[in-house]
Amino acid sequence: MSTEDQELPVFTTAADMRAWVRKQKKSGRKVALVPTMGYLHEGHLSLVKAAKEKADVVVASIYVNPTQFAAHEDFDVYPRNPAEDRDKLAAAGCHAVFEPDSLYVSVPGADGESSNVVGRESGHPGSHETFVTVERLQRPLCGGSRPHFFRGVCTVVTKLFHICEPDVAVFGRKDYQQWRVICRMVRDLDFPVEVVGMPICREPDGLAMSSRNARLSPESRERALCISRGLAWAEKAVAEGAVSEPADVAAQLRGRIEEAGGTVDYVELLHAHHLSPISDLTSQPVLLAVAAHFPARDRGTTHAANGHGSKNSQSV
């Protein structure tokens, strides 16, 4: 169903969303898509602004995608506020919102209720079982500790592309590996979509904007600043020649994060385009990618932000 009588149309089914987009395209309008998981901040809204410069019509999706969360991760406590999200999108000039209840076949769980777990993990013969993977690019960095993650990302983005049929899709480079993975998927599978990557948006103190920042305790939020400060140090140190070996940069930045109380997932310097290991800092474009965990304010769990504050990526 849709609520087209509202100022900002909100669509909850694939059929209605697709029909609306096709109507726009029939009128000769170019369509841009901004995929999000909601709980929007200025970083998301900057993507909407960029999308408006690339297309006539902007669609934003709001969907917390279960297939990119493992059972022990924060799907249930991921921050959500769809009503406020819609207001922000309307104010930003978005033209429509796709807000599905689910993008996967719903199957009963052990208690007879519909489950968020899909695919082979559900153990149900009628569950969704078709997934998209980018074999090499999804393995390093986030793929090391979260081997399920990019399978879920690529699958849901593929579904959004089929439903929303965008000419342009805009992603934030705060999730740098995700942007590269999506670019490769689009190239390899011949999607007629231009993928645009936009720079990280940061708070005034340097913390990368993130929906998950709301889960950080005040102390952890302050400590997480060691990442953006560490990235700035590394960029300056390399530019000035104070550090010349990739391993030395990684070791010193790792030490700074651990000294601040973070648990490092990875600190790696890789080729910025194909995410392969590098041996020097001068003969190719270099990505310095960092992921670290800091304590969350809820459930006493550990917070690991995807490219926001407690995980950032930056080219050096």
Per the rule left: phi > 0, alpha: psi between -120 and 50, beta: everything else, 206 is left
Do 192 and 236 share a domain, yes or no? no
In which band, very low, low, confident or very high, does the pLDDT at 109 lie, cut at 50, 70 and 90? low
Do 225 and 306 share a domain, yes or no? yes
Last residue of a domain, one of 198, 229, 244: 198
The per-residue pLDDT for range 154-207, each reduced to its tens digit, is 999 999 999 999 999 999 999 999 999 999 999 999 999 999 999 999 999 999
In which band, very low, low, confident or very high, does the pLDDT at 308 lie, cut at 50, 70 and 90? very low
DSSP H helical ranges for 41-111: 42-54, 82-91
Q: Measured between alpha carbons, how far apart are the two ends of the chain, in Å?
A: 47
Do 90 and 113 share a domain, yes or no? yes
Q: Which range of residues forms the domain containing residue 293? A: 211-315
Do 119 and 243 share a domain, yes or no? no
Long-range contacts of 296-301 (CB under 8 A, 24+ apart): 296/74, 296/215, 296/216, 296/217, 296/220, 297/215, 297/216, 297/217, 297/218, 297/220, 298/77, 298/215, 299/77, 301/74, 301/77
CATH of residue 95's domain is: 3.40.50.620
**What pLDDT sits at residue 118?**
82
Q: Which of residues 8 and 2 earns the better pLDDT score?
A: 8
In which band, very low, low, confident or very high, does the pLDDT at 112 lie, cut at 50, 70 and 90? low
In which band, very low, low, confident or very high, does the pLDDT at 123 lie, cut at 50, 70 and 90? confident
Domain membership flag for residue 78: yes
Domain membership flag for residue 204: no
Pairing of strands 286-295, 263-271: antiparallel
Active site residues: 44
Domain membership flag for residue 125: yes
**What pLDDT sits at residue 111?**
52
Give how many domains the chain has, as a whole number.
2
Q: How many residues does the chain have?
A: 316
Domain membership flag for residue 303: yes
User: Residue 114 pLDDT > 80, yes or no?
Assistant: no
Domain membership flag for residue 109: yes
CATH of residue 279's domain is: 3.30.1300.10
Quote the pTM value: 0.90
Domain membership flag for residue 16: yes
Please report, for residues 60, 108, 119, 155, 182, the alpha-carbon distance to residue 122 in angstroms, rounded to integers and kept in the order given.
29, 9, 6, 17, 26
Do 52 and 123 share a domain, yes or no? yes
